[in-house]
Structure 1
């Protein structure tokens, strides 16, 4: 399961051609930030769970 500050990979890459996102807010909605260009996207938790591919780095391991 994902947690705050985890780095995740989404199914589709961002427009800047990278696919590393950091979870910066969790609740009913989840806010993620692109680690390459800094773009922030907010989406409902259900949509996030559908679009997330895998967890790359757990926050507890950093």
Structure 2
């Protein structure tokens, strides 16, 4: 379960996207989290609780 994440971070999810990739970029934060597939560019919107449960690990934190 991931607690700390921010816009632009790359996360690895437990389940793969139908395109076969499991790495996503966080594009929106709030009550819902919007993530974009790195491979095909599709956007998925999840409730924060479901995102935190399904996120496996933080791959790359966006450093400003």
Tell me the TM-score normalized by structure 2: 0.91
Deviation (angstroms), 1:56 = 0.3
Aligned partner of 1:41 in structure 2 is 44
Structure 1 portions without partners, runs of 5+: none
Q: Which has the higher helix share?
A: 1
Which contiguous aligned blocks of 4+ residues in structure 1 show a shift greater than 3 angstroms? none
RMSD: 1.0
Q: How many residues align?
A: 61
Tell me the TM-score normalized by structure 1: 0.94
